[in-house]
Each structure stands twice: as structure tokens, then as C-alpha cells.
């Protein structure tokens, strides 16, 4: 891995997984709800859309649920969880001396190509996450741990989709 000097190594994956599992359990135990990420981004986007063009919000049923009339799309627990996630990532990066402005990519492509790929991949992710009513955190991880059938089907679909195309994108990563 391209780690610069002074950066502490990442934790053993089984240790990370155990810690993540305990965090997930505590989230369920205390709040009744699991973890998530795409929901917070979704509401942030709707907030901006509502500020720019409120009439449009009122014409789309899906958006109306979050920001119709006087309801504030940011008035949701998931928004605070998402803000916390960014802070937590920053704190851990500081402690591990891993904060560095860089672009992680395979050696055969330029940073520009990597950014274009990141944007396209992100768009697929955002679209799919809304269609599946959840992302890797909210559906696969949280729903998987509480044994939802839909979450397990979703999880297999994500891995299937990525593995199916991995061969065609090998030049971008290796």
C-alpha cells in the first residue's frame, strides 16, 4: 500500500470487524436502529434542492416526503449520524497520521482518469442505493445483522455486480 512515512498501519481486519460489530450492536441496543450513510447524503441534497427550487420538490412525490411544505429535510437522525461519520473518520485519520491529500488509484491510470471513474461510480452507487432503499451500511451491514431477507439478497447482489465487472476494470486498479 502507498503509505507515506509516519502513517500508522491499518488495524487487523478481524479486530476492525469486531469493533465495527460492537458499534453496530450498540447502535441497535441504544437507538433501535442500525448504521447508515446514503440517507444523510440524500437529505443533504434534498435540502440544497429545496433551497434552490422549492416548487420542484412539491412536484415529485418521493422528494415531497422529506421536504414538502415546512418539513426540514435535515431534521432527521440519519443526518447527524452522517455528520458524525465524517468527524469520526477525521479523528481516526489524525490519530493514525493518515490524513494526506492524495488520489488512490492503480499505477496504470492518471489521477484525472481516476476522478472521472470515481464520479461515474459514485453516480451508480447513489442511484442504486436509493433504488435498494439503503447502501452497504444501512442495508447489507445493519439489515444483515438483524437477519432481513431483503438485506441478504441485496448483499449478494452488490458482491455479484462488482465481481462480474471486476475483470473488465482490472487495468484501473492493478
Interacting residue with another protein among 53, 71, 108, 162 (CB under 8 A): 162
84 burial type by CB count under 10 A (0-12 exposed, 13-18 middle, 19+ buried) = exposed
Question: What is the footprint of another protein within residues 83-142 (CB under 8 A)?
Answer: 83-93, 96, 98-106, 111, 114-115, 117-142
Site membership for another protein, residue 81 (CB under 8 A): yes
Closest distance of CB 69 from another protein, Å: 14
- Give min distance, CB of 79 to another protein, in A: 8
Phi, psi at 127, each rounded to 5°: -65, -50
Backbone dihedral region for residue 32 (phi beyond 0: left; psi -120 to 50: alpha; all else: beta):
left
The distance of Cα 93 from the centroid of its chain, to the nearest Å, equals 17
Shortest distance, position 55 Cβ to another protein, whole Å:
14
Instruction: At 136, list the grid cell.
Output: 452497504
Q: What cell was used for 140?
A: 447489507
Looking only at residues 3 through 62 of this chain, which bind another protein when binding is defined by CB under 8 A? 10-39, 41-42, 44-46, 49, 60-62
Distances (CA, A) of 81 to 27, 35, 86, 112: 10, 8, 9, 31
Cα dihedral angle (71, 77, 78, 83), rounded to 10 degrees?
A: 110
* Closest to another protein by CB, 55 or 101: 101
Query: Rounded to the nearest whole angstrom, what is the least distance from the CB of residue 112 to another protein in the complex?
Result: 10
CB of 170 to another protein, least distance (A): 7
Residues in the interface with another protein (CB under 8 A) total 128
Amino acid at each position: 500500500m502507498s503509505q507515506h512515512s509516519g502513517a500508522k498501519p491499518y488495524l487487523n481486519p478481524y479486530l476492525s470487524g469486531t469493533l465495527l460489530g460492537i458499534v453496530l450492536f450498540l447502535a441497535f441496543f441504544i437507538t433501535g436502529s442500525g448504521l447508515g450513510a446514503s440517507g444523510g447524503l440524500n437529505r443533504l441534497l434534498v435540502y440544497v434542492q429545496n433551497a434552490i427550487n422549492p416548487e420542484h420538490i412539491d412536484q415529485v412525490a418521493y422528494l415531497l416526503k422529506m421536504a414538502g411544505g415546512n418539513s426540514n429535510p435535515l431534521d432527521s437522525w440519519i443526518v447527524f449520524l452522517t455528520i458524525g461519520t465524517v468527524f469520526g473518520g477525521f479523528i481516526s485519520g489524525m490519530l493514525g497520521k493518515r490524513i494526506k491529500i492524495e488520489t488512490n488509484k492503480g499505477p496504470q491510470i492518471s489521477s484525472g482518469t481516476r476522478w472521472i471513474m470515481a464520479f461515474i461510480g459514485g453516480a451508480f452507487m447513489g442511484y442504486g442505493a436509493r433504488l435498494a432503499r439503503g447502501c452497504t451500511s444501512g442495508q447489507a451491514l445493519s439489515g444483515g445483522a438483524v437477519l432481513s431477507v431483503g438485506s441478504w439478497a441485496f448483499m449478494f447482489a452488490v458482491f455479484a455486480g462488482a465481481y462480474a465487472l471486476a475483470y473488465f476494470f482490472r487495468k484501473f486498479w492493478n
